[in-house]
Copies of this chain bind each other. A is one copy, B any other.
Amino acid sequence: MRELHFITSNSGKYAEVSSILSSKGIPMVQRDIGCPEIQADTLEEVVTFCLDWLGSKEGAYLIDDSGLFIDALGGFPGVYSAYVFKTLGLSGILRLMEGVPDDERTAYFETVFGIGLGAEKLVFRGKCEGRISHEVRGEEGFGYDPIFIPDAGDGRTFGEMSMAEKNAISHRGKAIKNMMENANRIIEMLNQS
C-alpha cells in the first residue's frame, strides 16, 4: 500500500491526525513541503488547487485548510483567516462587528481535508455553526477561538473550552470523524495500481 503524505509543518497536528488514521490501518508520513494557497471563495478550491499542483509528482497527499466565515461581513475572513488574524487580529474583527445585533452575528468555522492521488481526489468537510462574541473570552485554543460561540455549546466561546470539549463539537473534529468513517475509501485509493 502507498503511504499517505500529510503535508503540514505542524508536528502537533500531524501527531493527532496520523494517530487516528494509523489506527484505521493507513500508513502515514509527515511532509513539510510548501504548497501554493490560491485566493478563492471556498476552502475546497484552495485544497483542490494544492492537490492538482502536487498531482504531477508521485504519491498520495493529504492536506487541510480551515477558515471562519462571518455572515455579516460577506463571508470574511474566509479562506484568508490566517492572514487576517496576523494583520487585523481579534480586535479588528470585533471592531468590524461593532453595532451588529446578536441575531446577525452568525458565523461558521469550516475545515476541509483533501486527499489526492494523480487526478483522483477525496474531500472531507466539517462545519461548526455559531456566532461572534462581543468581546474576547478565554485563552484556550488558538486563532479566532476566543470570539467564536458554537451553537452546540453552552454559551462559552471555544477559547473557554478544554481541547476535548472543543474537539467533540468542532469543525475540525467533525472533518476528522468524516475521514475516519471513510477510511475504507482512502485505503482503496492507496492500494490502487
Q: CB within 8 Å of B: which residues of A?
A: 36-39, 49, 73-76, 78-80, 83-84, 86-88, 92, 95-96, 98
Residue of B whose beta carbon sits closest to that of A86: B74
Q: 8 A-B Cβ contacts within 8 A?
A: A37-B38, A38-B38, A39-B79, A39-B80, A74-B86, A76-B88, A92-B96, A95-B98
A100 to B134, CA, bound (A): 22
Contacts of A78 in B (CB 8 A): 87
Give the residue among A39, A74, A96, A98 with the most B Cβ atoms within 10 A. Answer: A39
| 4 A-B pairs with the lowest CB-CB distances in the bound complex, closest first | A74-B87, A76-B87, A37-B39, A36-B38
Q: Check if A39 sits within 8 Å of B95, measured CB to CB.
A: no
CB proximity of A62 to chain B, nearest CB, Å = 20
User: In the complex, A38→B39 CA distance in Å?
Assistant: 5
- The minimal Cβ–Cβ distance linking A72 to chain B, given in whole angstroms, is 10
A89, closest chain B residue (CB): B74
**Minimum CB distance partner of A79 in chain B:** B39
Q: A92-B73, A92-B96, A95-B96 are in contact. Are A83 and B39 (CB under 8 A)?
A: yes
Kindly list chain B residues whose C-beta atoms are within 8 Å of the C-beta of A88: 73-74, 76, 96
Partner of A49, one of B36, B84, B86, B87: B36
User: How many Å lie between the Cα of A92 and that of B39 in the bound state?
Assistant: 20
Residues on B with C-beta less than 8 A from A79 are: 39
Partner of A83, one of B80, B86, B87: B80
In the bound complex, what is the Cα–Cα distance between A95 and B100 (angstroms)? 13
Q: A99 — nearest CB in chain B belongs to which residue?
A: B95
